[in-house]
């Protein structure tokens, strides 16, 4: 009896595996598992066996029945899957469908373009910490404690360790701290650096975001003067904006430069004639000036032998002033709206 059951199981599974037709599989199910099938015929003869042997052979018969049933179900699944694949035939020689292709963020594109322009005139690209010491952000830049200029930045102070030499830790409010770090690192001029970094201030409106990018330019050498500053800014603006765009240096006050200037650019819509958008024909872009002698001293540079100029502008605002860019809210840079980002 045992041999008959095992032989029947092997026979049934072999026939099932050799079958690739749904109707044939149904015929095999009836042949082996139907009411008058081969398995049930053997089970009916179990009553003729002794009680002990009957119990053992009954268990074996159920195992055989389950094995055949499982083999049938697996074959039906495989056959269904194969038929589905046949109905979804693919021409592997046809060109594929390209997946969506991303690109660099608009701000990253602007940083790369700005960096490339300055590198062509010898400015070395650097990057300094986002978390800065108070001394580098303020005191080393000629802004002593309680100076009113420090209130303007509305600084994010970091709940972290303090330094006896450098004070508290802050989220860097401007890239000007990179001037001191570059001077202390290079030690001996000439210095030509362009520093890109994230900056943080407590401001949020159509022209400000709490986190934004700035780039800081610094040039220190013997006999550097305002004409060099004007020449470098003119060069950058012509390359970045085109020959129709003009700049002007307007006297201003920054604690870390003397003399200091606000840098304005003519309006991209009216080119300086005056319109309802700009009113005066000009837009404020950023700050610049000759490095203050105190800042040079704090950076380890002797102001008796060396002089320099520096400038700092927001990347987002600088890009916003391009003639073909129509963006009226700076916050959209960081809202991750794919409809906006895919335009650039």
> DSSP secondary-structure letter at 209?
-
How far apart CA 327 and CA 321 sit, in angstroms, is 9
Q: How far is the CA of 295 from the CAs of 71, 127, 227, 258, in angstroms?
A: 84, 19, 20, 10
pLDDT confidence of residue 269: 74
| Crossing angle of helices 106-119 and 226-241, rounded to 10° | 130
Helix H or strand E segment including 16: helix 2-17
On the 0-12 / 13-18 / 19+ scale of CB atoms within 10 A, 208 is middle
Distance of CA 89 to the CA centre of its chain: 39
**Element spanning 314, H or E:** strand 307-314
Phi, psi of 4, deg, nearest 5:
-65, -45
Phi, psi of 35 (to 5 degrees): -60, -35
pLDDT in tens, 125-175: 998 989 999 999 999 999 888 877 667 667 888 888 899 889 889 999 999
- If you search the block for the tokens 């701290």, which residue do you land on? 177
* Residue segments in the chain with a per-residue pLDDT below the cut of 70: 1-3, 5, 46-47, 49, 51-52, 54, 58, 82-89, 149-150, 152-153, 277
Segment holding 81, helix H or strand E? helix 51-87
pLDDT at 252: 93
- Give the count of beta carbons closer than 10 Å to the beta carbon of residue 99: 6
DSSP β-ladder status, 247-254 and 211-221:
unpaired
The whole-angstrom separation of Cα 258 and Cα 229 is 13
Structural element, H or E, at residue 254: strand 247-254
Q: For residues 196 and 201, what is the distance between their CA atoms, to the nearest angstrom?
A: 16
What is residue 109's predicted lDDT score, i.e. its pLDDT?
92
**150 Cα distance to chain centroid:** 32
* Distance (Å, whole) CA 320 – CA 108: 14
Q: For residue range 29-71, what is the model confidence (pLDDT) as tens digits? A: 777 777 777 777 777 776 676 766 767 776 777 777 777 788 7
CATH class of the domain whose range is 106-341: alpha beta
d(CA 91, CA 94): 6
Predicted local distance difference test score (pLDDT) of residue 84: 61
């Amino acid at each position: 009896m045992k041999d008959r059951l095992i032989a029947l199981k092997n026979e049934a599974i072999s026939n099932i595996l050799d079958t690739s037709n749904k109707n044939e599989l149904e015929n095999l199910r009836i042949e082996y598992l139907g009411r008058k099938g081969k398995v049930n015929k053997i089970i009916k003869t179990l009553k003729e066996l002794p009680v002990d042997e009957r119990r053992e052979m009954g268990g074996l018969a159920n195992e055989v029945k389950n094995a055949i049933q499982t083999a049938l179900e697996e074959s039906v699944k495989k056959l269904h899957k194969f038929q589905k694949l046949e109905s979804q035939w693919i021409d592997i020689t046809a060109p594929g469908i390209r997946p969506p292709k991303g690109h660099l963020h608009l701000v990253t594109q602007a940083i790369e373009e700005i960096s490339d322009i300055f590198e062509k005139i010898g400015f070395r690209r650097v990057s300094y910490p986002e978390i800065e010491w108070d001394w580098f952000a303020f005191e080393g830049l000629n802004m002593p404690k309680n100076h009113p200029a420090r209130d303007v930045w509305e600084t994010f102070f970091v709940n972290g360790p303090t330094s006896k030499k450098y004070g508290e830790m802050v989220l860097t409010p401007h890239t000007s701290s990179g001037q001191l770090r570059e001077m202390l690192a290079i030690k001996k001029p000439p210095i030509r650096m362009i520093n890109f970094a994230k900056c943080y201030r407590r401001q949020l409106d159509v022209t400000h975001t709490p986190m934004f990018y700035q780039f800081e330019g610094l040039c220190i050498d013997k006999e550097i003067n305002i004409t060099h500053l004007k020449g470098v800014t003119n060069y950058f603006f012509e390359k970045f904006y085109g020959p129709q765009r003009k700049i002007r240096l307007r006297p201003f006050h920054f604690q870390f430069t003397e003399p200091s200037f606000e840098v304005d650019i003519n309006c991209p819509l009216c080119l300086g004639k005056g319109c309802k958008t700009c009113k005066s024909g000009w837009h404020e872009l950023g700050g610049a000036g000759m490095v203050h002698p105190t800042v040079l001293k704090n950076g380890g540079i002797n102001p008796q032998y060396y002089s320099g100029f520096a400038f700092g502008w927001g990347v987002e605002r600088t890009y916003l002033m391009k003639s073909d860019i129509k963006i009226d809210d700076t916050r959209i840079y960081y809202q991750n709206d794919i409809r906006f980002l895919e335009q650039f």
